[in-house]
Amino acid sequence: MTPSPGRARADAAPALAVRAAVPERDVDLDVEVPPGEVVAVLGANGAGKSTLLALAAGIIRPGSGTVHVGGRAVADGARWVPPHARRVALLAQEPLLFPHLDALGNVAFGPRAAGTPRREASRRALELLEQVGAGHLAGRRPAELSGGQAQRVALARALAPGPDVVLLDEPLSALDVGAAAELRQVLRHVLREAGRAAALVTHDLLDVLAVADSVVVLEAGRVVERGPALEVLSRPRSAFAARLAGVNLVAGTLAGAGGEAVVRTGDGLELHGLPDPACEPGTAVAATFSPRAVSVHRAPPGGSPRNTVPVTLDALELQGELVRVRGATPGGHRLAADITPGSVAALDLAPGARVLFTVKAAEVSIYPA
Ligand SMILES: Nc1ncnc2c1ncn2[C@@H]1O[C@H](COP(=O)(O)OP(=O)(O)OP(=O)(O)O)[C@@H](O)[C@H]1O
């Protein structure tokens, strides 16, 4: 797997390495999570995502191959380390907290069971609850927590024993949009920014953008694509990554703020858009917009405040009643527009045509990347 830019040390063992097959599921995987890196695991239903987590967590045994956690073999022909001794933590869709313990007790449970003295375990538990924005909930029992609050506590509990790798199985999918957005930022903070290694199974583009350093895409039990998150999403090769992206995505740096926000790329492309509140000027961001929001022109549209980008077309394909027109900017950013067959004819579009794509700033969403 491509090492993480800057963070993974070439000499450090991967936090997780699964090179294993489960023949009865027709799954044969080769997936690595470098130290300090969050890897998003993507794929359609039945692609093998849960099987990957189950192999890592020790819920199923591989038919052949090996599983390593923090450089230590936890499953191979000769060895089998049970789940509790693997130094992995699993966060599922449902928080599954102990109902009779308060939040602090839930988070301190793992360290206490491992022999940490009570006072030290409580201190550490409170620190983690504060990191996930749940310090004020320390004394509450699970029945007194909202879904989002309970999932924060479950996250703190997963982190408490100091696992080598955190496994997250669609951790936001049971939450409403608002709670999911908040927890997504918490995950970004405690995983990606804190340099904790994790494998995150998700179906959500926003999770990938906010939390993941890199992605692996699974299809029919095999890895079909892997690489840095923005690279895979902006130049998807697998059908699944293309569908997930489903949008135009341009990575760059944020300049300005609010109504004046601009994403600048290294090759001179600028896109005005609406930034997510979590975006900060000067940081890496991704501008996204739907192909349906793009208009195609042969000449610059007069007096328009829209973003205007030169594109050389390389493909036209029918998508329902519209034609998806694809091409690349001079800097190599791949973009798509969905327009009517009538427009395609009127503009005389064909591969090789040089056109201008325009999109209103109000149609461009900017997310932290
Ligand atoms: N308990 C099981 N016994 C046998 N086969 C299974 C079992 N669980 C999953 N499979 C099969 O293994 C393959 C991989 O499934 P897996 O659950 O890992 O996919 P997934 O990507 O997690 O899917 P989803 O997004 O639906 O959760 C599929 O062909 C599935 O039918």
How does pLDDT run across 148-166, given as a tens digit for each residue? 999 999 999 999 999 999 9
Q: Whose CA is nearest to atom 1 of ligand 1?
A: 25
Q: Whose CA is nearest to atom 7 of ligand 1?
A: 25
How does pLDDT run across 163-192, given as a tens digit for each residue? 999 999 999 998 998 899 899 999 999 999
Of 207, 194, 178, 87, nearest in space to 132 by CA: 194
Q: Whose CA is nearest to atom 11 of ligand 1?
A: 25
CATH classification (class only), 290-360: mainly beta
- Global pTM reads 0.80
- Alpha-helical regions (H) of the chain: 49-57, 103-113, 118-131, 147-159, 177-187, 205-211, 229-234, 239-245, 341-346
CA–centroid distance, 27 to ligand 1, in Å, is 9
Sheet holding 222-228, edge to edge: 88-91, 165-169, 198-201, 38-43, 214-219, 222-228
Percent of the residues in the chain that have a pLDDT greater than 90, as a whole number: 70
Of 209, 13, 196, 217, nearest in space to 89 by CA: 196
List the domain boundaries for the chain. Answer: 16-244, 247-288, 290-360
Q: Whose CA is nearest to atom 6 of ligand 1?
A: 25
Kindly give the interhelix angle for 118-131 and 147-159, rounded to the nearest 10 degrees. 130
- In the chain, count of helices (H) and strands (E)? 9, 21
Asked if 21 contacts 64 with a C-beta cutoff of 8 angstroms, the reply is: yes
What is the separation, in whole angstroms, between the first and last Cα of the chain?
20
- Tell me the average pLDDT of the chain: 90
- Main-chain phi, psi angles of 5, to 5 degrees: -65, 115
How does pLDDT run across 6-16, given as a tens digit for each residue? 444 556 899 99
* Nearest atom of ligand 1 to the alpha carbon of 22: 12
How does pLDDT run across 15-69, given as a tens digit for each residue? 999 999 999 999 999 999 999 999 999 998 899 999 999 999 999 999 999 999 9
CA–centroid distance, 221 to ligand 1, in Å, is 9
* Nearest atom of ligand 1 to the alpha carbon of 52: 18
How does pLDDT run across 305-337, given as a tens digit for each residue? 689 999 999 988 888 888 899 999 999 888 999
The pair of structure tokens assigned to 199 is: 């494998």
* Nearest atom of ligand 1 to the alpha carbon of 43: 21
What ipTM describes this predicted complex?
0.95
Domain 16-244, what fold? Rossmann fold (3.40.50)
CA–centroid distance, 171 to ligand 1, in Å, is 18
Compute CA distances 282 → 50, 52, 207, 265, whole Å.
37, 36, 21, 12
Asked if 16 contacts 135 with a C-beta cutoff of 8 angstroms, the reply is: no
Residues with CB under 6 A from ligand 1: 24-25, 27, 43, 45-51, 221
What one-character DSSP code corresponds to residue 173?
A: T
Compute CA distances 269 → 84, 249, 296, whole Å.
50, 12, 17
- Residue where the block lists tokens 């427009």: 343
* Nearest atom of ligand 1 to the alpha carbon of 201: 22
